[in-house]
Amino acid sequence: MNKLAVVFSAAALMAAGGAYAHHGWGSYDATKVVVIDGKVLESAYEFPHGEMVMEREGKKWTVTLAPPSRMQSRGLAREDIAVGKTVKAEGYPSTARENEMRAERVTVSGRVVEMR
């Protein structure tokens, strides 16, 4: 096998592995809206997308956010979702994972930031 074919094969395998590891947006129920308003318990502002952990009705929820580049371009800074900050997340519950939601919008300090 020539070197070019090896490079392309390796690139294809890495891309497929990343796609397999990342869940798609089809696993969220857009007919139901979840709203969580409170303090951020955990926060990650990282690739492939940000996440927060918040509490709703006595349960911890994972709030899946947009990729960092989108959050930055729409005005949601890392500090806005830092642990201890009060935010409101609105979005759709996961059909695959209990107590997980995909945020459509985040309200922080009176600002509404659209994630999609």
Rounded Cα distance between 41 and 65, Å, is: 15
- With pLDDT > 90 as the criterion, what percentage of the chain qualifies? 76
DSSP labels, 29-42: -TTS-EEEEEEEEE
Q: What CATH architecture applies to the domain 25-114? A: Beta Barrel (2.40)
| Residue carrying structure tokens 């209990």 | 98
Cβ–Cβ < 8 Å for 74, 112: no
| Structure token digits, residue 37 | 């308003």
In this predicted structure, the answer to whether residue 6 has a pLDDT above a threshold of 60 is no
The answer, yes or no, to whether residue 31 has pLDDT greater than 90, is yes
**Model confidence over 55-75: pLDDT tens digits?**
999 999 999 999 999 999 999
Q: CA 59 to CA 21: how far, in whole Å?
A: 26
Confidence of residue 16 (pLDDT cuts 50, 70, 90): very low
The domain spans of the chain are 25-114
